[in-house]
A and B are shown apart, each in its own frame.
Chain A
Amino acid sequence: MDAAVQVTDLVKRYPGRPVNAVDGISFTVARGEVFGLLGPNGAGKTTTIGVLTTRVLPTSGTASVAGVDVAADPVTARSRLSVVPQRSNLDRALTARQNLVFHAAYHGVGRAERNRRADALLEQLGLGGRGGDKVDDYSGGMAQRLLIARALMHAPQVVFLDEPSTGLDPQARLFVWDRIRELREGGVTVVLTTHDMDEAAALSDRVGIMDHGRLLALDTPAALTRSLPGSATLDIDVARAAEDTDDAVLAALAPLAERVEQVADGSGLRARLYLSGDAAALVGPVSEALGARHARLTGVRIGEPSLEDVFLSLTGRELR
């Protein structure tokens, strides 16, 4: 695999703290991948990203970004990565466009090229015509888009986004999501941290779930939800044969699912089957089993588990 980010046995312990903030994690992000790092507050996400973006020194283990060891050569690493922070850290003494141009100048982009890129990116992020404004006059959504534009000014290979759509209205959120997808299409690797499970599921090729400094799960959102035992559900309405009983029907269905329970007893029998894996694939076998008892399947509803179910099952429900 062509690795854009490689983390091996990474440990970070802050001085005077009894436990490791990051406790021996390893993962790889492929080039051009969107990788979501999820976890409750204090799980170690921010520290992990801090190490990768050269702002936190690792205690042990190695981390590299775009083929550069971030601890051994932070200067080169910084030229190949960029960061979109959760809170605006734009230069308030400068206009929006100057923020972009000076950032590129820090990174050694030539004058003509940085002016061209600034205009193009302002345009692409819907800020054309607002480049001359002071950033103090920008709304939260505009500032977020400007932060993304700034991050792209030096053509980084890996972009780190921290909670990219927190506090944005739905329009701005969708706009930012689309830009992130565009980045992936352009071959840029994106690592994002988020609490928003919909965001993670919508954007990420793969998701890592962290807690207590450890990586608890790492896979595609679909595989993670599939792997969650008993979280997919199949609700069925059944018209059973007159001589049959509800309990007997449920007992007949029991071998097909991990658990079967009767939901409500209205006009007919309604049951919920809990299972792992694909609920839709179970409709056929259920129908057959019912047919064998001269019962009819009159309604079906599939409940897919969400990434949030996976997250909660891994990290628990207590408040942090």
Chain B
Amino acid sequence: MSTDTSSGRGAATSTDTAVPGLAAGVGSAAPGRPDVGRAFGALLWRDVFVTGRELVPFLLQVVLQPVFLLFVFGKVLVELGFATSQYSDVLLPGVIALTAFLTALQNTAFPLVIDFSFTKEIEDRLLAPLPTALVAVEKIVFSLLRALVAAAVMFPISWWVLGTLPVQWGDLPLLTAFLVLGSLVGAVMGMTLGTFVKPNRINVVFAVVLTPLLFTGSTQFPWQSLDTLRWFQVVCALNPLTYVSEALRAEMAPDVPHLPLWLCALALAGFLVVFGVTSLVGFRRRALD
């Protein structure tokens, strides 16, 4: 062995019987195809592990804005008599949809910009033994998980803020299905933004994209009642969030006019395919030269 230059470190390699040299286990690596599923699981576990340690900051980050929305528009305005209590029925499903959709979107967009352009932390994942597209899919799945947690937390908070929660156990399967679909669309839209926008433009783009998304997603109003404001109705129809809000409203506030569920599902599936493709193309462009 060559001379060890750091003081007192010379003995470490020779006394360590577990690993004889620096090249531990070299040549013994089983030459076969690596286990892709296991690699995918490990990537996901790393993200869940890190989020689990930062659960409170994470929840504050994603839940504070919708809680204030709900409180001011669903509670304060109603108390002051500027809105009827029926308005909180309109608002609540929209705010839950918004929470899931934007959490998913922001979770793929911002971290990817930072990872690809500045910290390069993603490189170790890109060198893991799984196809590059699956590294992207893992990010999407992880965003979905975060979005579902954020949405789930909104239910007890809504109950606490508004005093009622118009949800039956029987609503859960459909609610979950649409929250999953909506979060996936949010995640792939976020990844598309995060991989196509130049890093130095990301602040501007987010300001320009997020605010309109927030206010054209039919979260604060039922889409069908926009008949009198035709141009705005068309703009809202282009926002995928509209279909999540409308679907949740159909379940939680069936008396409020809403789009049929099949239409919402179809629209979201369409957005998922389109942005799913652009997100994977964008990710591949950043990951491979």
**Chain A contact residues, CB within 8 Å of chain B:** 14, 47, 50, 53-57, 66-67, 74-76, 78-80, 82-83, 85, 87, 89-94, 102-103, 105-108, 116-117, 120-121, 123-124, 126, 128, 150, 152, 154-157, 171, 174-175, 178-179, 181-183, 185-188
Judge whether A106 and B129 touch: CB under 8 Å: yes
**Docked CA distance A76–B121 (Å):** 21
With A117-B19, A128-B12, A175-B6 as known contacts, state yes or no: A103 contacts B24, CB within 8 Å.
Answer: no
**Docked CA distance A79–B130 (Å):** 9
Interface string of B104-129 (1 = CB under 8 A from A): 00000000000000011111111111
Judge whether B289 and A188 touch: CB under 8 Å: no
Judge whether B6 and A76 touch: CB under 8 Å: no
The 9 closest A-B pairs by CB, nearest first: A186-B23, A106-B128, A120-B19, A105-B42, A89-B120, A155-B25, A79-B129, A79-B34, A182-B22
Judge whether A123 and B12 touch: CB under 8 Å: yes
Contact of A120 among B18, B122, B128, B288 (CB under 8 A): B18
* Closest Cβ neighbor of B20 among chain A residues: A186
Taking CB atoms, residues of chain B closer than 8 Å to A150 are: 124
Taking CB atoms, residues of chain A closer than 8 Å to B27 are: 157, 187
B56 at the interface (CB under 8 A from A): no
**Docked CA distance A102–B132 (Å):** 18
B28 at the interface (CB under 8 A from A): yes
Contact of B6 among A55, A89, A103, A171 (CB under 8 A): A171
With A75-B131, A76-B33, A108-B34 as known contacts, state yes or no: A93 contacts B50, CB within 8 Å.
Answer: yes
With A78-B129, A103-B124, A155-B29 as known contacts, state yes or no: A182 contacts B34, CB within 8 Å.
Answer: no
Contact of B46 among A47, A102, A152 (CB under 8 A): A102
Taking CB atoms, residues of chain A closer than 8 Å to B122 are: 89
Contact of B121 among A53, A90, A117 (CB under 8 A): A90
Q: Please name 18 pairs of A and B residues whose Cβ atoms are closer than 8 Å in the assembled complex, sorted by A.
A: A55-B126, A55-B287, A57-B289, A78-B34, A78-B129, A91-B46, A94-B50, A102-B42, A106-B46, A106-B124, A107-B34, A108-B34, A120-B18, A123-B16, A154-B29, A175-B4, A186-B21, A187-B26
B168 at the interface (CB under 8 A from A): no
Taking CB atoms, residues of chain A closer than 8 Å to B126 are: 55
**Docked CA distance A280–B120 (Å):** 50
Taking CB atoms, residues of chain A closer than 8 Å to B31 are: 66-67, 80
Contact of B19 among A76, A80, A121 (CB under 8 A): A121
With A75-B34, A102-B42, A188-B26 as known contacts, state yes or no: A89 contacts B123, CB within 8 Å.
Answer: yes
B204 at the interface (CB under 8 A from A): no
B200 at the interface (CB under 8 A from A): no
Taking CB atoms, residues of chain A closer than 8 Å to B36 are: 75
Judge whether B16 and A120 touch: CB under 8 Å: yes
Judge whether A157 and B29 touch: CB under 8 Å: yes
